[in-house]
Each structure stands twice: as structure tokens, then as C-alpha cells.
Amino acid sequence: MAVTIREVASAAGVSISTVSRAFTAPDQVGERTLQRILEAATRLGYSPNPAARSLRGGRTGTLGLVIPDIANPFFPPIFKAMQARARRQGYTLLVADSDEREADEIETIAAVVKKVDGLLLWASTLPDDRLVELSRQVPLVLGNRHVDGISEVHVSLAAGLTQAAEHLRAYGHRRCVFVDGSRPELSRGKSIRESFAAHDLALIELGPYEPRFETGVHAATLVAANEATAVVAHNDLVALGILHQLSRLGIDVPGRVSVIGIDDTLLATTATPSLTTIRISAEEIATKAGDLLAETVADPDQPARKVEIGSRLIPRASTGPAAA
Amino acid sequence: MAVTIREVASAAGVSISTVSRAFTAPDQVGERTLQRILEAATRLGYSPNPAARSLRGGRTGTLGLVIPDIANPFFPPIFKAMQARARRQGYTLLVADSDEREADEIETIAAVVKKVDGLLLWASTLPDDRLVELSRQVPLVLGNRHVDGISEVHVSLAAGLTQAAEHLRAYGHRRCVFVDGSRPELSRGKSIRESFAAHDLALIELGPYEPRFETGVHAATLVAANEATAVVAHNDLVALGILHQLSRLGIDVPGRVSVIGIDDTLLATTATPSLTTIRISAEEIATKAGDLLAETVADPDQPARKVEIGSRLIPRASTGPAAA
DNA sequence: ATGAAAGCGCTAACAG
DNA sequence: CTGTTAGCGCTTTCAT
């Protein structure tokens, strides 16, 4: 076993409580004593045993993040930003991938829930009542999912989509396609319909499909057939599928068709042409979700709150003037 | 607090030891007793407190994975595969991103080391002696890093690079460029030099640069200037930079230049044209590294072992016959 | 096959 | 400011 508080105590010639305090409430310990303890601790290579701490204090010092698919490039930046934030607040972040399947998600949550002080569940597929139940078991915050009585961070695409509409309109586009790849519950369709209608842009909706590259490949042909001059895709991945197929069909982007993605992932920056897309800031998610979670952990009985995450258009090379 | 072993015990009319056994050694408990306990446990919603378990047993039931950058698309599949494997072995996986900086890595490791039964460190930037020291503190396996006396999984690109050389040679290429983006210690240069020499392919080496998209953009111009007909990039990201710039220069891929990446990430599949690349199987890494780590945890004093991970070429649309 | 009891390392009253 | 003490929930001898 590793070195314990007791050995530090005897090395420093104090009691174990004083050593404990030296780590949890240094200001309650005498100047010189503190020095001696810290010195002894470093020399012996002591660091507190988290298991004992948790057992005693009921706090684990870790926050949980459950996401549907870390291979979706939308999530790694969130992971990073949340980890950085958690660490600054003295927490370790435990990230688990639920593989986008309900059964796996249940298992994932079960594996994690007893090891964390609070949980952020992104785009959960679980039924409302299970989430309500879970929220009684652990401080809980939902991402992109609404359940009455549970705090939530919600990504709003409204701002970004409005900017996209303005952008396309300014370039003279009139007829656009939206490739929907959502689960119906959280369809991005409604939001885009409103924004585009407000800017007098005709919108043809395709789908819903799965949000995959192949979906874009398939949809590209339909875009051409619909005589639209611009497409908004469900996300960057789908947009890349569109770009890919358009290129094979010899349809120039943005010369004949403009393409817009959503999420501003690595895929958008590295695409050819680079992809105009709607950015959702990982830092903003981490900050707001992290704060909300921290507050929920601190006071689990406060009323549920809803926090909005904004979005904005990042114009790049895949959009341009409408073809004549 | 949640329901404890004591409540289950009294509900089932047995002692707490028997309940404990029901969960840790069910075969040592009478048939009917076991039934009753399990029934009571489910009814009460009991599940063992991991903190108490760890404290008592010294085992945490979690395995740690420290990676340099989860935003590098090479890592998410490894995360997923490792998590799946760990779970099947009854472990939770704790993943931490060290942000590619030594100071962060030290902090990251410190944050997780006491919370895990074993640690897999990928591409660590720490000096040898620190790693040796760490290996005395926790069962340790290294990924793509060699330190005497510590077990290691090592990705060998030899097979994939040989296939790449054969592939290019068969297409009539003679003059190739390699864009090096490695830290010098783990340069991919040596391996490719040998493979290409063996196939009588002239190899011009550029770099070393940082393994970024912009590196590829920059290198593309040099490729053209060197009159090479094929490029191998340090990884898919760099390859996409090359693709991007080649496209802007109006140089057709694979008509005038063939491009090969390394890693077979999502970027390769979604590129236009889709990218020929060298695949390193995440499943193979997870399986071999997971087993090695499990064995190291089970018997920390066994001699260090080295396990090789293979690679192979995935031909796609970015390679073709050499220009005349 | 089951129970009693002793801690694992630590924190948080409570005393002084 | 510092020490004493009682557990946190569980596993694990040691009995029975």
C-alpha cells in the first residue's frame, strides 16, 4: 500500500487530524506546523486516498460526462473544454461513451453514477421517467434534451441559422435544400424552417435520414435534381458527403451550389473547399454546463434551470454567389 | 445516502457478510438465500458503493487511459474500443487528455493515478526516469513509447508502408515525397525510408514539421516543385492539407499526384477524393493493450513485455497511375 | 453455509 | 491551533 496520513503525522510529529487539515483547510493550521507537514508529505510521497475521502465525505471529486459517440467530432472539443474546467474546479472528469444505444446508455450510466458527484448527460435516449428517477439519485444536468424538472443546457441554432439565411440571401440564393439527419425529437427542421421563411428563402426538406456521410452522398444528387443553389446539411459530416458527391458529379462548389454545415468540427476546416458552417462553441458549452452542474452538485434541491448555448455562422469557401 | 448492504441484509434476514458474498462470491451462498438477497437488493435498488469497496479491497475497478489529444481523430476509436473491452472485463475506463504538454500530462496523471488499478499512457512526453518511478506506483503500460523495464504496445507501420511502396511502385511511381510531422524521437521517417528503398523508390523527405493541416498545405507546393508523383503524409490530417492545396493549385489527385495518409481516421473516409491511407486498427490496440494492462494489473511484478500492433494499406481514390 | 468483528484511510465533530 | 474519537460501507478472516 501507499503511504498514509498516519505516517505523515508521525513523521511530522502531529496528529492525523492536523495532517488532514493541512490538506483540506490549510488556514486552520499553524504556519510552522503546516510547513513541517507539507515537507514530510512531499518527502514521503504522500497524497490522500480518494477512496477513503469519498467513503467518509460522500464526495468523489469526479464529475461524469456521458456522450453518445466520441467518434463524432463534435464531442472531443467538449471533452477537452469540460475536462479543463472540471480540473480548475478541483474535479476529475469521467467521460463515458454510450454508443448511441439505449441499452448501452443504461449500462454506461450504471457504471458511472456511483463514481461521480454529478452527471452531465448529452442527448440522452432514455425515456423521461428514467431520467427523472436518475435525477433523484445524482445531481443531473441534461444536454440537448428537455425533461420537466431537470436542469438543461440547450444549443440554439437560431442565431446561426438566421445568419446563414442572411448570408445566402445576400448572395442571391432563393431556393435551398435542408438535409435533415436528426432523430425526430430533436429535429433541426423547425428552427431552419422559421429562419429561412423569415428571409423569404424557399426551403425543400429532405429526410430525415441518419446523420452519416453517405446520407450526404445520397442527398447531393437530390439537390441537383431540385434545382436548388444552396444546401444546409444536418451537420458537417453530412455536408462533406454532399461535397464529395457534388465533386464526383462535376458540380462546382460554390460555383453552382453553396454548401453549409453545422457544428464547425475539424471536418469543416479540413474540407476542400473549406466548409461554411455554424459554430457551436465547445468552450461555451463547457463553461455553462460546467457551472450549471457545479451549482446542481452544490445544491441539488434548487429548481431546475435552462441555459442557452448560442451559435453563429463561420463563412468559409463553400458558399458564394448563386448561379445565374 | 443510498441504500447500504445493511438494509439489504435485514430485509433478507441475513447478515451483511452474506450479502457481501452474494455479490462477490455467489457460489459460496446457499441457493435459496442467494435468491432472497438478490430479490431484496433489486427491490431496494441496492448496488455496492465503489468507494467502500476500493478502500477495503485496494482495487478501484477502473482503468486509466491518458492520451495526448482526444481531438486528434486517431484517438476516439481507441477510446471506444478500450471502453468496450474494459467494461467486458468489469472495469470502468477513465480517460484523460493531457493536451500534449508535459506539465499538463503530469497534472493529468496525478489526477487519475490514485483512482485507477492500472494506467495506459499513450505517447507520453515524460522523461524516462519519471515513467520508471510511475511504474513503481501503479501498473503501467506505455503506448508508442519505449522505456526499459516497462511494458509497451508499439504500432509498427512497417507492413503498411511496405504495402504502400508496393502499391505506388505497381502504379509506376518512382519519385515520392514524405512529409514528416513527428517529434524526432518517434519519427516515422526511418521506417518509410527502409520500405521505399527496398522497393527502389526515390524518397524526398520534408520536415519535420508539426502534424497539422497547414503543414500539408505548405508541403503541397513543395511536392509540386520536387516533381514527385506521390506523397506520403505523416498522418491523414497532413494529407488533407496536401489535398486541399493541390486542389487550389489545380493539380489533379490522383491524376498528377497520388496522396497517401496514415491512421485511417474519419478524415480519410470523408475526404474528396477519399484518401488512400494506412490503417492502424483501434480494436487491435484495445485488445492487445487491454490484455497487457489487465495482466500487468493482475501480476505487477512480471517482466515487461512488448506487443506489436500491425498496420495495412487501405487503397482508396487518392492514389492512381503515375503521370507520364 | 452463515455470522461476528476488525479494520481499509480519511474527515468531522467535539474537546481542549 | 491541535488532538481524540467515531464511524463512512464494505470485504475478509475466523468461528461456528
**Structural element, H or E, at residue A307:** strand A306-309
Q: Which of B55, B73, B94 sits opposite A94 (nearest CB)?
A: B94
Is the Cβ atom of A190 within 7 Å of strand D at any atom? no
Topology classification of domain B5-48: 434 Repressor (Amino-terminal Domain) (1.10.260)
**Equal fold, A61-155+282-308 vs A158-280:** yes
- Pairwise CA distance, residues A34 & A29, whole Å: 6
A residues 17..36 contacting B (CB < 8 A)? none
- pLDDT grade for B184, boundaries at 50, 70 and 90: low
Which bases on strand C have an atom closer than 7 Å to a protein beta carbon? 1-5, 7-13
Is the Cβ atom of A29 within 7 Å of strand D at any atom? yes
Q: What is the β-pairing status of strands A140-143 and A175-179?
A: unpaired
Residues A186, A190, A195, A199: what is their CA dihedral angle, to the nearest 10 degrees?
150
Q: Which of A49, A95, A114 sits opposite B47 (nearest CB)?
A: A114
Is domain B158-280 in CATH 3.40.50.2300, yes or no?
A: yes
pLDDT tens string, chain A, 324 residues long: the values are 689 999 999 999 999 999 999 999 999 999 999 999 999 999 999 999 999 999 998 899 999 999 999 999 999 999 999 999 999 999 999 999 999 999 999 999 999 999 999 999 999 999 999 999 999 999 999 999 999 999 999 999 999 999 999 999 999 999 999 999 887 666 788 889 999 999 999 999 998 999 999 999 999 999 989 989 999 999 999 999 999 999 999 999 999 999 999 999 999 999 999 999 999 999 999 999 999 999 999 998 899 999 999 999 999 999 999 987
The CATH class of B61-155+282-308 is alpha beta
Query: Which nucleotide shows the minimum CA-to-C1' distance to residue B2?
Result: D9
Q: Which of B95, B112, B272 sits opposite A244 (nearest CB)?
A: B272
Distance, CA of B54 to C1' of D10, in Å: 9
Task: Please choose, from the candidates A192, A253, A244, A250, the residue with its C-alpha nearest in 3D space to the C-alpha of residue A215.
Answer: A244
**Over 80: is that where the pLDDT of B324 sits?**
no
The residue lying closest to nucleotide D13, measuring its CA against C1', is: B17
Contact list, A94 vs chain B (CB under 8 Å): 92, 94
- Taking CB atoms and an 8 Å limit, are A137 and B2 in contact across chains? yes
Q: Distance of CA A40 to CAs A3, A5, A43, Å?
A: 11, 10, 5
Neighbours of A29 (CB within 10 A): 22
Cβ-based burial of B45 (10 A; exposed 0-12, middle 13-18, buried ≥19) = exposed
Domain ranges of chain A: 5-48, 61-155+282-308, 158-280
- pLDDT grade for B104, boundaries at 50, 70 and 90: very high
Query: Which nucleotide shows the minimum CA-to-C1' distance to residue A21?
Result: C11
